[in-house]
């Protein structure tokens, strides 16, 4: 049984959006739902993201390609109805209660053929009219969709949405900060050798400077990348194109004269 308090605690403590996603996936499975699709129904300027279907999901790739290829995001009645309510609702209710066009009925029928059963939709509203939605389903069927379950799923979805967007916003801010990071020639040189697995004493010997000087530059690198160890700093530098490790072999190793 899902513990909402534990889910809130764990998602708040998650380090990345991916960790939040995995915790949400696990919680839904405990309720009998092994498929979900998280979409941004409107643009999200607060995150720097445009509207998009399936930002995070574990729906089958076959269904996602079919859905996108047919342009179903434009005629799917589920996200359309999200604009008319702030409460969770079942796909079955949409089929039985709304006057659907033949195209809309086709979308719903094909969803069932893709083994998306017991469908639930949860609309979520944010600042400045931003809107997201989560579609949830079971690939085997038999999951509960009673009022209590809908309320529990709604609580899980809102916590997921808050935690996930918070981590995404942090990632966007970090990426923007790193884009402004610059390295001196000496810092690049030290990081390149570090990327080759050289220790600080070895780097000092290779480039002909003292060990304390290497440590001084490495500490400055850590501060720039908000990192506390070299492998993390190296990964960030490579990811943002500040160093290219393949070029290390082109750096001539100084010849040390033994006296």
Sorted by sequence, the CB contacts under 8 Å of residue 242 that are 6+ apart come out as 181, 182, 183, 188, 191
pLDDT at 257 over 70: no
User: Residue 10: what pLDDT?
Assistant: 97
Q: Cβ(108)–Cβ(95) under 8 Å? A: yes
User: Residue 48: what pLDDT?
Assistant: 74
Q: pLDDT confidence of 256, banded at 50, 70, 90?
A: very low
Place of tokens 């308090």: 5
Q: Cβ(167)–Cβ(20) under 8 Å? A: yes
User: Residue 258: what pLDDT?
Assistant: 34
pLDDT digits (tens, 9 = 90+) for 201-254: 999 999 999 999 999 999 999 988 888 888 888 988 888 888 886 655 554 444
Please state, in angstroms and rounded to a whole number, the distance separating the CA atoms of residues 250 and 193.
Answer: 11
Please state, in angstroms and rounded to a whole number, the distance separating the CA atoms of residues 215 and 234.
Answer: 15
User: Residue 129: what pLDDT?
Assistant: 87
User: Residue 56: what pLDDT?
Assistant: 86
pLDDT digits (tens, 9 = 90+) for 4-52: 999 999 999 998 889 999 999 999 999 999 999 999 889 888 777 788 8
Residue 29: half-sphere exposure toward Cβ, Cα within 13 Å: 8
User: Residue 147: what pLDDT?
Assistant: 95
pTM equals 0.71
pLDDT digits (tens, 9 = 90+) for 116-154: 999 999 999 988 889 999 999 999 999 999 999 999 999
CATH tag, 181-250: 1.10.10.10
pLDDT at 259 over 50: no
pLDDT digits (tens, 9 = 90+) for 161-205: 999 988 888 877 777 777 788 899 999 999 999 998 899 999 999
Q: Cβ(119)–Cβ(137) under 8 Å? A: yes
User: Residue 248: what pLDDT?
Assistant: 53
The fraction of the chain above a pLDDT of 70, given in percent, is 94
User: Residue 169: what pLDDT?
Assistant: 80
Q: Which CATH superfamily is domain 4-177 in?
A: Transcription factor LuxR-like, autoinducer-binding domain (3.30.450.80)
pLDDT at 74 over 50: yes
């Amino acid at each position: 049984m899902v513990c909402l308090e534990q889910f809130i605690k764990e998602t708040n403590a998650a380090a990345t959006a991916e960790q939040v996603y995995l915790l949400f996936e696990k919680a839904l499975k405990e309720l009998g739902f092994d498929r979900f699709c998280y979409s941004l129904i409107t643009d999200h300027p607060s995150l720097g993201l445009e509207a998009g279907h399936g930002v995070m999901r574990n729906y089958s790739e076959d269904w996602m390609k079919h859905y996108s290829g047919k342009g179903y995001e434009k005629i799917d009645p589920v996200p359309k109805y999200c604009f008319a309510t702030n409460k969770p609702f079942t796909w079955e209710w949409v089929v039985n209660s709304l006057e659907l066009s033949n195209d809309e009925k086709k979308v719903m029928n094909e969803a069932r053929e893709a083994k998306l059963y017991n469908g639930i939709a949860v609309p979520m509203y944010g600042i400045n009219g931003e809107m997201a939605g989560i579609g949830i389903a079971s690939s085997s069927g038999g999951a509960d969709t009673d009022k209590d379950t809908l309320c529990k799923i709604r609580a899980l979805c809102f916590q997921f949405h808050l935690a996930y967007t918070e981590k995404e916003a942090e990632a966007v801010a970090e990426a923007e900060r790193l884009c402004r990071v610059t390295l001196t020639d000496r810092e690049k040189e030290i990081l390149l050798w570090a990327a080759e697995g050289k220790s600080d004493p070895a780097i000092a010997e290779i480039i002909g400077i003292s060990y304390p000087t290497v440590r001084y530059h490495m500490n400055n690198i850590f501060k720039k990348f908000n990192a506390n160890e070299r492998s993390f700093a190296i990964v960030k530098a490579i990811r943002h194109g500040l160093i290219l490790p393949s070029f290390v072999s082109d750096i001539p190793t100084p010849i040390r004269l033994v006296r």
